[in-house]
Structure 1
Amino acid sequence: MDLEKQYRSMVGHLLPYGPAWDKSEPILLSLALTLSKTHVRLDDLMQEINPKTTTELIDRYEQICGLPDSCYPLDVQTLTTRRNRLDSKINLVGGISKEFFLQVLKANGYLDATITNYNNDVFTCESTCQDYLYDEEWRFYWIVNIPHDYQITEMTCNDGCDSHLRKWGDKQIECIIEKLCPSHTYVIFKYGAINA
């Protein structure tokens, strides 16, 4: 039974009993049609509550959340990209742990990325040959290791002589991580490496 027939039946059952009340009255039929259309519209609006399924209210949600931001250029955003970015912005719990940033990297498609911290002991004359050479300042640095050659562009013979020999990096993920990282730390992005 479709929705309009259900509302026609419900409206008909609300009438008092007797020969004076006609269940096929045009006013009652139009009321049932209006109620069924309202029901369908409310079902559609329930989809707008979830940022992953919103369509009509996406502009309003983005305005409230400060999107689009500098990490996502307007010209390359599809509806799905906008929904995912909005969902991550609204539902992001936040944190400053290594696991949090790995989760952000995974959410943006870098499933095999790793993070290297320099918060161990400082290199001294008693350190082993395999220890990193760094001083106390390096405890504020951390490296995001992206193991595959993501977006690496080599210079070709058609490029100008002032072109870079090689360009690499994903500006979007770098922007997102730099916005989320603690203000007292510095992030280094290393592409094509498994570990620092």
Structure 2
Amino acid sequence: MDVTDDDYINLMSALLPPGPAWSADDPAIIGAAPSLRRAHQRADDLMLEVDPRTTTELINRWETCCGLPDECIPTGTQTLQQRQNRLDAKVNLIGGINERFYLDQLAALGKPGATITRYNKGPFKCTSACTEAVYSTEWRYYWQVNMPAATDATWMTCTDDCDTPVRYWGDTVAECVISKLCPSHTYVLFKYP
């Protein structure tokens, strides 16, 4: 709500005691109104800093308190909106080790169409259907994140070092965040179409 000087003049005039000692056009009242309006607007601005989704002035303090930016996202590579989204995801993180939790995290990271494949059906047996995959018992500790869309691939060039991969791709931010959040006894595989 936009507050004007006139609003504060009317407010202070209404608070004056009745009688001829004070009037609404008193210079003290007219002179105090701009200061009160600025204080009110500043208080409104600071209320936006309480929420990590709308913070701008205090975003560095918020990030310091939350351990951001972390190794998943290098400093200075994100826009203000991306920083606010990552901060909101970290502050309002409701933990869990179920599939919905990880899909929500992937959606917050810009991968809303991602799916998860689990290899928990156990090893292949004589009684298994022919269409079932062949897994050993160790595969129950693996799960796969299927990314929704192809990620731009980067090819090796003639000017690259010898140890540069011939081709590399992937969303390193999403991979890093999911790997940090996954249970310590599991292994995450990332599949790109």
TM (norm. structure 1) is: 0.89
Q: Which moved more, 1:23-32 or 1:176-185?
A: 23-32
Residues 124 and 134, structure 2, Cα contact 8 Å, conserved in 1:
yes
Corresponding position: 1:15 with 2:16? yes
Q: Which moved more, 1:22-31 or 1:44-53?
A: 22-31
Query: For residue 121 of structure 2, what is the aligned residue in structure 1?
Result: 120
Corresponding position: 1:168 with 2:169? yes
CA distance in 2, matches of 1:16, 1:146: 69
Query: For residue 130 of structure 1, what is the aligned residue in structure 2?
Result: 131
CA distance in 1, matches of 2:22, 2:161: 87
CA distance in 2, matches of 1:160, 1:38: 58
Aligned length: 192
Query: For residue 143 of structure 2, what is the aligned residue in structure 1?
Result: 142
CA distance in 2, matches of 1:26, 1:135: 86
Secondary structure of the equivalent of 1:143?
A: strand
CA distance in 1, matches of 2:96, 2:184: 13
CA distance in 1, matches of 2:165, 2:130: 35
Q: Deviations over 1:100-121 (max 9, x none)?
A: 1111112212122211101113
RCO (CA 8 Å, sep 6+): is it higher in 1 or 2? 1
Residue 153 of structure 1 aligns with an amino acid whose one-letter code is T
Q: Deviations over 1:156-182 (max 9, x none)?
A: 456555542221211111100001101
Change (3 A) 1:11 1:144: same
Query: For residue 111 of structure 1, what is the aligned residue in structure 2?
Result: 112
Indicate the RMSD between aligned Cα atoms, in angstroms: 1.9
The residue correspondences of 1:70-89 to structure 2 (distance < 5 A) are 70-89=71-90
Query: For residue 185 of structure 1, what is the aligned residue in structure 2?
Result: 186
Q: Displaced runs of 4+ in structure 1, greater than 4 A?
A: 156-162
Residues 151 and 170, structure 1, Cα contact 8 Å, conserved in 2:
no
TM (norm. structure 2) is: 0.90
Secondary structure of the equivalent of 2:43?
A: helix
Secondary structure of the equivalent of 2:32?
A: helix
Residues 142 and 186, structure 1, Cα contact 8 Å, conserved in 2:
yes
Please, which runs of 5 or more residues in structure 1 have no aligned partner? none
Percent identical pairs in the alignment equals 51
Structure 1 residue 149, shift from structure 2 partner: 2.1
